[in-house]
């Protein structure tokens, strides 16, 4: 492969960050000097064929990964952590950003030449101009012709607007999800596969809020995305009556109807003034006392995705491709590919080739 295209330092960096390795770790794993790794990443010296092979083994990506010329993106505010972002160590942040970029590149290859059709599209609104985040949530519900009341299957609704939802093993328990929507490309949301169903829904609604409302980063966007998620999942007009005289057992029941956590319902009850602040406080204390802030009863099942499996199926049936072919096309390691794109599938959706 002497006449092959060059390798790109940027791609080495993204693969290394996704593997959560430092340049020193990578140098140690491959026998190169850290300064050499550093200069290869910055493009000061070329990545040799033999170095690319070593890096590929250490980082579990095919050698061709380093030949990709895609531009990479920062995620701005589209992360959601269930704890404060400040508590996330920098290597973890970089890992998430790198993995989302890798998914972006892979998805764009999977989508190349595929005739996509979706029932709805993702509208965009501007907070302040088009209304408050709650008002915008109502506009989106109207545009997507959602009936009043709870959304039974949020993944299905979001997917009907052409958004790809991907469950991914982040290996970082603190991260709930992230999303990316590059102009001209399909928007997607990556969700930590290790979350209970109610938190998955909240995260997805929150990320949807970012997609609909935010094209730049500011201080208020996290609160805005939460306000959007809250109204989108639990419209004030439809839920207020349900939340009157809220008790813990009632919240556990409502969780099954509204498919939102007890904690979110209790908070919402205060929000829409269905309960007094004192009542809210007392419910919150009870929630803690029962250990429900860590694990709630009535766990909701995860909503399964279908856009991504349909896309894979298109390639395996229409284009007669095997999983190995798809890995080559997306410059993906097979384990990664299977875990990310054929997951929920499990034995049920193994591609029969
Ligand atoms: Zn956010």
Where residue 344 falls (left for φ over 0; alpha for ψ -120 to 50; beta otherwise) is: alpha
Ligand 1 centroid–CA 96 distance in Å is 14
Q: What integer pLDDT is reported at residue 83 of this predicted model?
A: 47
Q: Exposure string (b/e) for 118-135, b if CB count within 10 Å is 16 or more?
A: eebebeebebeeeeebbe
Ligand 1 centroid–CA 192 distance in Å is 14
Q: Which residues are bridge partners to 262 per DSSP?
A: none
Which position has the token pair 């298109």? 314
What gap in Å lies between CA 232 and CA 154, rounded to an integer? 10
Delimiting residues of CATH 1.10.260.40 domain(s) in the chain? 1-69
Q: CATH number of the domain at 73-233, out of 2.40.30.170, 3.40.50.10420, 3.20.20.140, 1.10.10.2910?
A: 1.10.10.2910
Residues with CB under 5 A from ligand 1 (ion): 80, 222, 225
Where residue 174 falls (left for φ over 0; alpha for ψ -120 to 50; beta otherwise) is: alpha
What gap in Å lies between CA 275 and CA 54, rounded to an integer? 62
Ligand 1 centroid–CA 74 distance in Å is 14
Ligand 1 centroid–CA 188 distance in Å is 14
1-69 sits in which CATH class?
Answer: mainly alpha
Q: What integer pLDDT is reported at residue 86 of this predicted model?
A: 54
pLDDT tens, residue order, the chain (353 aa): 445 679 999 999 999 999 999 999 999 999 999 999 999 999 999 999 999 999 999 999 999 999 999 988 887 655 555 544 557 788 888 999 999 999 999 999 999 989 888 889 999 999 999 999 999 999 999 999 999 999 999 999 999 999 999 999 888 877 888 888 887 888 999 999 888 899 999 999 999 999 999 888 888 888 999 999 999 999 999 999 999 999 999 999 999 999 999 999 999 999 999 999 999 999 999 999 999 998 999 999 999 999 999 999 999 998 899 999 999 999 999 999 999 998 654 433 334 33
Ligand 1 centroid–CA 46 distance in Å is 38
Ligand 1 centroid–CA 306 distance in Å is 24
Q: Tell me how far CA of residue 201 lies from CA of 116, 142, 204, 301, 329, in angstroms.
A: 25, 19, 5, 11, 31
Ligand 1 centroid–CA 224 distance in Å is 9
Ligand 1 centroid–CA 77 distance in Å is 6
Ligand 1 centroid–CA 225 distance in Å is 6
Ligand 1 centroid–CA 332 distance in Å is 28
Ligand 1 centroid–CA 244 distance in Å is 29
Q: What integer pLDDT is reported at residue 80 of this predicted model?
A: 58
What gap in Å lies between CA 211 and CA 216, rounded to an integer? 10
Delimiting residues of CATH 1.10.10.2910 domain(s) in the chain? 73-233
275 phi, psi to nearest 5 deg = -130, 160
Burial (CB count <10 Å: 0-12, 13-18, 19+), residue 12: buried
Q: What integer pLDDT is reported at residue 37 of this predicted model?
A: 98
Ligand 1 centroid–CA 228 distance in Å is 11
Where residue 291 falls (left for φ over 0; alpha for ψ -120 to 50; beta otherwise) is: left
Q: What integer pLDDT is reported at residue 330 of this predicted model?
A: 97
What gap in Å lies between CA 47 and CA 235, rounded to an integer? 55
Ligand 1 centroid–CA 76 distance in Å is 9
Ligand 1 centroid–CA 78 distance in Å is 5
First to last CA, the chain: 29
Ligand 1 centroid–CA 75 distance in Å is 10
Ligand 1 centroid–CA 122 distance in Å is 17
């Amino acid at each position: 492969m002497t006449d092959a295209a060059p390798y790109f330092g940027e791609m080495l960096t993204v693969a290394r960050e996704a593997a959560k390795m430092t340049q020193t770790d990578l140098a140690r794993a491959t026998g190169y000097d850290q300064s050499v790794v550093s200069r290869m990443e910055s493009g000061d010296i070329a990545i040799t064929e033999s170095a690319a092979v070593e890096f590929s083994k250490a980082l579990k990506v095919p050698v061709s990964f380093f030949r990709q010329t895609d531009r990479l993106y920062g995620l701005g505010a589209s992360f959601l952590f269930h704890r404060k972002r400040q508590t996330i160590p920098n290597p973890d942040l970089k890992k998430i950003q790198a993995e989302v970029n890798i998914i972006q590149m892979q998805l764009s290859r999977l989508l190349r030449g595929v005739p996509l059709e979706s029932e709805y599209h993702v509208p965009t609104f501007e907070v302040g101009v088009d209304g408050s985040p709650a008002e915008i949530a109502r506009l989106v519900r109207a545009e997507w012709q959602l009936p009043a009341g709870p959304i039974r299957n949020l993944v299905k609704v979001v997917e009907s607007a052409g958004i790809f939802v991907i469950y991914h093993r982040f290996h970082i328990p603190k991260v709930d999800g992230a999303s990316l929507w590059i102009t001209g490309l399909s928007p997607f949301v990556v969700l930590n596969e290790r979350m209970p169903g109610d938190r998955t829904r909240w995260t997805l609604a929150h990320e949807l809020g970012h997609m609909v409302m935010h094209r730049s980063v500011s201080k208020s966007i996290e609160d805005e995305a939460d306000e959007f998620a809250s109204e989108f999942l639990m419209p004030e007009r439809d839920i207020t009556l349900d939340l009157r005289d809220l008790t813990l057992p009632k919240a556990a029941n409502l969780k099954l109807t509204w498919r939102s956590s007890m904690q979110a319902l209790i908070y919402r009850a205060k929000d829409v003034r269905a309960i007094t602040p004192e009542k809210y406080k007392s419910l919150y204390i009870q929630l803690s006392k029962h250990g429900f802030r860590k694990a709630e009863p009535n766990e909701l099942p995860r909503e399964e995705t279908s856009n991504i499996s349909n896309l894979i199926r298109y390639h395996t049936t229409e284009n007669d491709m095997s999983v190995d072919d798809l890995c080559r096309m997306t410059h993906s390691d097979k384990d990664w590919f299977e875990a990310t794109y054929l997951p929920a599938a499990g034995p049920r959706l193994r591609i029969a080739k």
